[in-house]
Structure 1
């Protein structure tokens, strides 16, 4: 039941972001997911500051992890579609809990 509620919240968030920013290609969505999945497997997902040696997606993921329990988190998700898809990848890899 909780997973279904989270899925609906994420779907609404994505739809809202698509209206604001436009849509990504399926290839780009997969690239973000695979990048986050690989970063998790390598232990690169941490609440650390930006690192110029990491990809933009991993830096975005670490930023979201760092601010997850703050008021800034909701605002960050409205910055760009990248952040939305990074967030979805984090939730789907069990790296972060769904935003309420």
Structure 2
């Protein structure tokens, strides 16, 4: 990630923490590992919700499906899980941040 991407994500995370509170490091790590494993297994796709997938993977697929829409922007203001799933998607190069 470049410096602009890092700043955008840091601002987004800080804003979410102010609105929703903070997660433990264990929770952040759990989300990241879940998304990383889902990517390795080919489970990250622009598909509708699947009851057989975890909430984090369903959230990731929703974000991938709605990326670059108003719906995507709204999702990032709903809860801290969405923010950390988004950060995991960016850090695994599953989604690209534009300046």
TM-score, length basis structure 2: 0.97
Note the aligned Cα RMSD (angstroms).
1.1
Query: Corresponding residue for 2:7?
Result: 8
Query: Distance between the aligned counterparts of 1:99 and 1:61, measured in 2?
Result: 18
Q: Runs of 4 or more off by more than 6 Å in structure 1?
A: none
Query: Distance between the aligned counterparts of 1:79 and 1:8, measured in 2?
Result: 21
TM-score, length basis structure 1: 0.96
CA drift at 1:99: 5.5
| Ranges in structure 2 where 5+ consecutive residues have no aligned partner | none
Change (3 A) 1:50 1:99: farther
| Ranges in structure 1 where 5+ consecutive residues have no aligned partner | none
Aligned length: 99
2:40 is aligned with 1:41: yes
Aligned partner of residue 29 in structure 1, secondary structure: helix
